[in-house]
Amino acid sequence: MAMLFSGWRGRTFFALLRQQADAVSAGSTALRAFLWAVADPAARQVQAIAIREAERRGDELERAVTDRLDRAVLLPVRREDIYVISGTLESVMDIIEGVANRVELYAITALTPEVLAMADLLTDQTSALVDVVTGLQSLRRTAVSEPAQHCKTMEAEIDKIYRTGLARLFRTPDFAPLEVLKLKEVLERLEEASDHCEDVTRLVEGILIKRG
């Protein structure tokens, strides 16, 4: 069994998952810049292109993982675990692209402090997520414990800011009803992306716990 986990099949799947996590992190970084430049159409467009490229790369990598899973006989970890991690990473990337698309579609040109704070923290969280997925290759819990805790801490912070952001929208009379709906959806999607990052972290931890 040790030879199986150190073989080329293991390295291939781990490398693909790491590249997916890298794409998510790149997309999150671009989304942060996109949101901070929301009032600058030219700067925003540059970041929108970067987000789409990260999503395209992530989609290619997810297809590569699925294709290899369909053909693989011996795997580094359980087939379904690899599939779910890859799919959840792609979900994070889809949400990131969806946030940018909604800002464009809804013609949002001003964001609340909570939206920007959540984008900042999501960038930090996805960076930690890269370390979590990278650590999976070692198949040791100690390799992921620190970044996993950081990822979960960021999720808790994002959730707290999300609630504060909702309270601002519904308690402040300055927002028109339509603006409330638009910004509420952006907040919800950012919070959902963070939740999925934590899901990946817990999936990785679960794999390593089962290995003892």
Query: Residue 164: how many CB atoms within 10 A of its CB?
Result: 15
Q: What is the CATH number of the domain that holds 64?
A: 1.20.58.220
111: domain range? 2-211
Q: Residue 72 has what pLDDT? A: 77
Helix (H, G, I), strand (E, B) or coil at 101: helix
Q: Residue 212 has what pLDDT? A: 63
Structural domain count of the chain: 1
What is the pLDDT averaged over residues 103-117?
97
Least confident segment among 64-78, 103-117, 179-193: 64-78
How sure is the predictor about 79, in pLDDT bands with cuts at 50, 70 and 90? confident
Nearest to residue 21, comparing CAs of 53, 58, 52, 56? 58
Q: Residue 2 has what pLDDT? A: 34
Q: Following CA atoms 165, 186, 154, 52 in sequence, which dihedral angle do they give, to the nearest 10 degrees?
A: -160
Q: pTM score, two decimals?
A: 0.92
1 pLDDT exceeds 60? Answer: no
144 pLDDT exceeds 70? Answer: yes
Nearest to residue 33, comparing CAs of 111, 105, 128, 150? 111
Q: Residue 3 has what pLDDT? A: 33
Please state, in angstroms and rounded to a whole number, the distance separating the CA atoms of residues 189 and 186.
Answer: 5
Least confident segment among 13-27, 48-62, 73-87, 194-208: 73-87
Contact 129, 24 (CB under 8 A): yes
pLDDT tens digits for range 18-32: 999 999 999 999 999
